[in-house]
A and B are shown apart, each in its own frame.
Chain A
């Protein structure tokens, strides 16, 4: 099901490439020893290197290099054992050196792939063009003074990975899936926390359109710094529509950088190609080429966790889960781990249902992270055990689950305290059925004359009589036997 924009002249296809800036998880900045903690008071996490003081020199943070290699491996990408840092020169008040140290024609990571899991269960493989390391700029704050701009250099020098996709994405939906999947992989790897609100993952989208069926690449526009998955999707949808309208009214698209305004749902021009900076890239003479050996890569490779795609495959294979359930469970490493703890030695399908429907539903409603879940995995497992051994009916289990959420207690204790044990003693149930039959001869007659639907009524009566503790399966079975003509 391809995404096409209907125009007056026919259908149009959208071509999208994404550039994601992912902040590297590390203690210190890319080229200085300064801390990277988020939320510190302005200009308190700034070394003389980050402030571009005279005579200061950058020294590469080896941990950030390892994180970039790890990410490259997670993206099934080529790792370049020889890469070069280059200076990207431009003037701005929050760029203290007057240049950003980045990588240009020789990035640390080359081509790779990322597999998208589409909602219909299909997959799409998207190419990664490259990943390179670079330092972040500081922050300009324009709204603290009517004339002045305030500068916070805490972020100056923080390590970023710029991850560039190939122009392989064909719909806002795919772009959204790409971001979610990339975020998932980065979080699995522990190389970026993926937090878009705090700015540790930022996205620029390159958008162009072409008549459906064509293979040409038309002029693209770059939409800068869109700070949520939803806004990226909206911005692309809007921008693609704008391109179609321009082409169909006989106009041309000029290559330019645009800003997305989520309040008005529109993009507007930031600077045109003519106004684009000439960044005068050249190899940074303060930094020798970044060179490492295969052993360095191998060591990182050996430390890689099982990644979402492999985990998903294993869940489908070993737990016989549906593609959808597997996708949902593997998106976050902690969720997958929780599920596996619950599913171990139990009915996996039942475990998946409980985790996805009940647990995730509850966590979403309460806005609680899985790490802080009031219901621990072993307790949810114990609850499922109580269903399996017929101690609890499904309905009773839901009640117990509610209590677990409220109190954090183990299910066995709740069952004990509240006397919720399911009645599976056929004698007790038989006696109750006999009473109901005796008290309702007319209903019995109606049932026996063919009104099968009354079975539900009898089950209800029986539940009432046993205060809901009777095993529902057993109830149906025994009722059927007793009511048989």
Chain B
């Protein structure tokens, strides 16, 4: 049955269509794999009953010839997406027992396209983290290990459960969300493809909010084509989300093989700081080499405000989070710790319900929005954010896409960098600028370190140009011939 879990979404789609495999067989194969790999702790909740019911329904539909774009495809759902009647935790103690009476727009679209939900995937608590170590449900392990080492590595974060599950072939694809790199960085850490579309492409309705102006859903898959197939279903205008865009959604899969001949690829000098990991730097050069071989032109560019991106992000995101997380007060749902007064109940509930990283960000966010500090922090950060966006706008007047490393390092050990939040925040140094600018970005697995750990390259394009994003990503994927886990 291992061969069924090794299928890509595109392959499975063909085999289902040809009647070579049933949705139930696919679901069962993945449910079995999930059980075997339970020690990865990729899932917070598995939903075998939902999976089998939906798989059966899919097979029935197929007999009638009435199938959707993802009919019968087994997927994992990051546990930040509200799923009707299924425990939704955001990896936080404070959402204990919360079963939403509604389905997020993105997961509803996937469900309506016939996808089969296998379960809810682990993440950093409220998506705050870069290693999936802040989850109330414990850390997720990266299915990759360094050559000759038994040390458990982080899968990146916050969509670390999604990344680990897709890399380990526990699901064919997964939803992720990306606020400052939470799709792209874990994709790089686990050797898979992760796409953060343009802000506004996917509806945020029904996704537990972290930072509203940055949060964006996207696919995490083993191939570029699979991401194109998934994103096609996930995105589109939603009248229930005022920030979702009515922009036309192109056919992503149709452009995959159009190549990069004649495209100008920007190489931003600010992404090569002194002391950049030599393997990361070398892979970046190799990636540009592949694109050149395919007919693209390298252009040196500058994104001068890059160095302000991380501090800007760590003002804007916590500010929004401090407000977004105010609703977790023990009054209407989730955890409640009784108190003698309303204030005491709030204090006890939130003290018990939130982990250290979430509390840290709520405190930072509350501080930067406070009277007397607002102008110096939040307002200033918004101005810098606009400058960062302008850097990209100006760059895209000269180039069609930008190529950078996804993360400054390969995955590190669980337990490392735990005592220094700033060192942890540096994981997102290459992904955060695009989040602040709202532009699309993808991470494509491109090579291995000397110790055999995955590294990813990041492709960025201008807003609403996911087509070029996919074209460039496809060329890198084709050239890299990345050795996927279990695909020996």
Contact B370 A285 (CB under 8 A): no
Task: With A58-B242, A91-B329, A96-B331 as known contacts, state yes or no: A282 contacts B369, CB within 8 Å.
Answer: yes
Q: A51 interface residue, CB < 8 Å from B? A: yes
Bound form: Cα–Cα A365–B124 in Å = 69
The residue that A97 contacts in the complex, of B82, B95, B326, with Cβ under 8 A, is: B326
Contact B242 A286 (CB under 8 A): yes
Contact B333 A93 (CB under 8 A): no
Q: B240 interface residue, CB < 8 Å from A? A: yes
Tell me whether chain A's interface is mostly helix, strand or loop, or mixed. Answer: loop
Contact A54 B90 (CB under 8 A): yes
Contact B82 A54 (CB under 8 A): yes
Contact B242 A93 (CB under 8 A): no
Q: A280 interface residue, CB < 8 Å from B? A: yes
Bound form: Cα–Cα A314–B98 in Å = 63
What residues of chain A lie closer than 8 Å to B413, measured between beta carbons?
A: none
The contact string, 1 if C-beta is below 8 Å from chain A, for chain B 360-391, is 00000010011100100010000000000000
Q: A59 interface residue, CB < 8 Å from B? A: yes
Contact B331 A288 (CB under 8 A): no
Q: Report the minimal beta-carbon distance from A4 to chain B, rounded to whole angstroms.
A: 37
Q: Report the minimal beta-carbon distance from A144 to chain B, rounded to whole angstroms.
A: 16
Bound form: Cα–Cα A51–B242 in Å = 18
Bound form: Cα–Cα A255–B305 in Å = 44
Contact B100 A53 (CB under 8 A): yes
Q: B247 interface residue, CB < 8 Å from A? A: no
What residues of chain A lie closer than 8 Å to B327, measured between beta carbons?
A: 52-54, 96-98
Contact A54 B342 (CB under 8 A): no
Q: B319 interface residue, CB < 8 Å from A? A: yes
The contact string, 1 if C-beta is below 8 Å from chain B, for chain A 392-431, is 0000000000000000000000000000000000000000
Tell me whether chain B's interface is mostly helix, strand or loop, or mixed. Answer: loop
- Which residue of A is nearest B204, CB measured? A57
Contact B323 A87 (CB under 8 A): yes
Stretch at the interface among B53-61, B183-191, B205-213: B205-213
Bound form: Cα–Cα A287–B101 in Å = 24
Contact A54 B331 (CB under 8 A): no
Contact A55 B346 (CB under 8 A): no
The residue that B98 contacts in the complex, of A54, A87, A93, with Cβ under 8 A, is: A54
Contact A282 B326 (CB under 8 A): no
Contact B332 A51 (CB under 8 A): yes
Find residues 269-328 in chain B having any chain A CB closer than 8 Å to their own CB: 319-320, 322-323, 325-327
- Which residue of B is nearest A60, CB measured? B242
Bound form: Cα–Cα A87–B82 in Å = 24
The residue that B331 contacts in the complex, of A48, A56, A59, A151, with Cβ under 8 A, is: A151
Find residues 187-229 in chain B having any chain A CB closer than 8 Å to their own CB: 204-209, 211-213
Contact B323 A278 (CB under 8 A): no
Contact B326 A99 (CB under 8 A): yes
What residues of chain B lie closer than 8 Å to A286, measured between beta carbons?
A: 209, 212, 242-243
Bound form: Cα–Cα A285–B324 in Å = 10
What residues of chain A lie closer than 8 Å to B409, measured between beta carbons?
A: none
Q: A89 interface residue, CB < 8 Å from B? A: yes
Contact A288 B243 (CB under 8 A): yes
What residues of chain B lie closer than 8 Å to A48, measured between beta carbons?
A: 101-102
Contact B104 A55 (CB under 8 A): yes
Q: Report the minimal beta-carbon distance from A414 to chain B, rounded to whole angstroms.
A: 60
Task: With A59-B242, A60-B242 as known contacts, state yes or no: A278 contacts B342, CB within 8 Å.
Answer: no
What residues of chain B lie closer than 8 Å to A53, measured between beta carbons?
A: 100, 102, 327, 332-333
Q: B239 interface residue, CB < 8 Å from A? A: yes
What residues of chain A lie closer than 8 Å to B208, measured between beta carbons?
A: 54-55
Q: Report the minimal beta-carbon distance from B182 to chain A, rounded to whole angstroms.
A: 16
Bound form: Cα–Cα A295–B336 in Å = 50
Q: B251 interface residue, CB < 8 Å from A? A: no
Contact A93 B342 (CB under 8 A): yes
Q: A44 interface residue, CB < 8 Å from B? A: no
Q: A353 interface residue, CB < 8 Å from B? A: no
What residues of chain B lie closer than 8 Å to A282, measured between beta carbons?
A: 319, 323, 369, 374, 378
The contact string, 1 if C-beta is below 8 Å from chain B, for chain A 15-57, is 0000000000000000000000000000000001001111111
Contact A54 B100 (CB under 8 A): yes
Q: B458 interface residue, CB < 8 Å from A? A: no
What residues of chain B lie closer than 8 Å to A96, measured between beta carbons?
A: 327, 331-332
Q: Report the minimal beta-carbon distance from B177 to chain A, rounded to whole angstroms.
A: 11
The contact string, 1 if C-beta is below 8 Å from chain A, for chain B 100-131, is 11101000000000000000000000000000
Contact B332 A54 (CB under 8 A): no
The residue that B326 contacts in the complex, of A57, A98, A285, A288, with Cβ under 8 A, is: A98
Contact A55 B100 (CB under 8 A): yes
Contact A280 B331 (CB under 8 A): no
The contact string, 1 if C-beta is below 8 Å from chain A, for chain B 64-103, is 0000000000000000011000001010000100101110
- Which residue of A is nearest B208, CB measured? A54
What residues of chain B lie closer than 8 Å to A59, measured between beta carbons?
A: 239-242
Q: Report the minimal beta-carbon distance from A82 to chain B, rounded to whole angstroms.
A: 16
Q: Report the minimal beta-carbon distance from B239 to chain A, rounded to whole angstroms.
A: 7
The contact string, 1 if C-beta is below 8 Å from chain B, for chain A 69-106, is 00000000000000000010101110011110000000
Q: A149 interface residue, CB < 8 Å from B? A: yes
Bound form: Cα–Cα A55–B328 in Å = 12
What residues of chain A lie closer than 8 Å to B206, measured between beta carbons?
A: 55-56
Contact B242 A57 (CB under 8 A): yes
Q: Report the minimal beta-carbon distance from A346 to chain B, rounded to whole angstroms.
A: 55
The residue that B212 contacts in the complex, of A149, A278, A281, A285, with Cβ under 8 A, is: A285
Q: Report the minimal beta-carbon distance from A156 to chain B, rounded to whole angstroms.
A: 11
Find residues 323-367 in chain B having any chain A CB closer than 8 Å to their own CB: 323, 325-327, 329, 331-333, 342-343, 346, 366
Contact A93 B331 (CB under 8 A): yes
Contact B323 A57 (CB under 8 A): no
The residue that B242 contacts in the complex, of A52, A98, A281, A287, with Cβ under 8 A, is: A287
Contact B332 A55 (CB under 8 A): no
Bound form: Cα–Cα A93–B341 in Å = 11
What residues of chain A lie closer than 8 Å to B326, measured between beta carbons?
A: 89, 91, 97-99
Bound form: Cα–Cα A48–B104 in Å = 12
Bound form: Cα–Cα A58–B243 in Å = 10
Bound form: Cα–Cα A52–B323 in Å = 12
What residues of chain B lie closer than 8 Å to A91, measured between beta carbons?
A: 326, 329, 343, 346
- Which residue of A is nearest B102, CB measured? A48
What residues of chain B lie closer than 8 Å to A92, measured between beta carbons?
A: 342
Q: Report the minimal beta-carbon distance from A428 to chain B, rounded to whole angstroms.
A: 80
What residues of chain B lie closer than 8 Å to A97, measured between beta carbons?
A: 326-327
Contact B242 A285 (CB under 8 A): no
The contact string, 1 if C-beta is below 8 Å from chain B, for chain A 315-330, is 0000000000000000
What residues of chain A lie closer than 8 Å to B329, measured between beta carbons?
A: 91, 93, 98
What residues of chain B lie closer than 8 Å to A287, measured between beta carbons?
A: 242-243
Contact A54 B95 (CB under 8 A): yes
Bound form: Cα–Cα A72–B320 in Å = 31
Bound form: Cα–Cα A98–B329 in Å = 8
- Which residue of A is nearest B372, CB measured? A278
The residue that A89 contacts in the complex, of B95, B104, B323, with Cβ under 8 A, is: B323
The residue that A55 contacts in the complex, of B205, B343, B370, B378, with Cβ under 8 A, is: B205
Bound form: Cα–Cα A213–B332 in Å = 55
Bound form: Cα–Cα A288–B438 in Å = 14
Contact A99 B242 (CB under 8 A): no
Bound form: Cα–Cα A55–B204 in Å = 7
Q: Report the minimal beta-carbon distance from A48 to chain B, rounded to whole angstroms.
A: 6
- The 29 listed contacts between A and B (C-beta, < 8 Å) are A53-B333, A54-B88, A54-B90, A54-B95, A54-B327, A55-B81, A55-B206, A58-B242, A59-B239, A59-B242, A89-B323, A91-B329, A91-B346, A93-B329, A93-B331, A96-B331, A96-B332, A97-B327, A98-B327, A99-B326, A149-B342, A278-B370, A280-B369, A280-B374, A282-B319, A282-B378, A286-B212, A287-B242, A288-B242
Q: Which residues of A contact B (CB under 8 A)?
A: 48, 51-60, 87, 89, 91-93, 96-99, 149, 151, 278, 280-282, 285-288
**A55-B102, A93-B329 known, 7 other contacts, Cβ within 8 Å:** A51-B332, A53-B327, A57-B240, A59-B241, A282-B323, A282-B374, A285-B213
Interchain residue pairs A-B with the least CB separation, the first 7: A98-B326, A285-B212, A280-B369, A285-B213, A52-B327, A55-B206, A54-B208
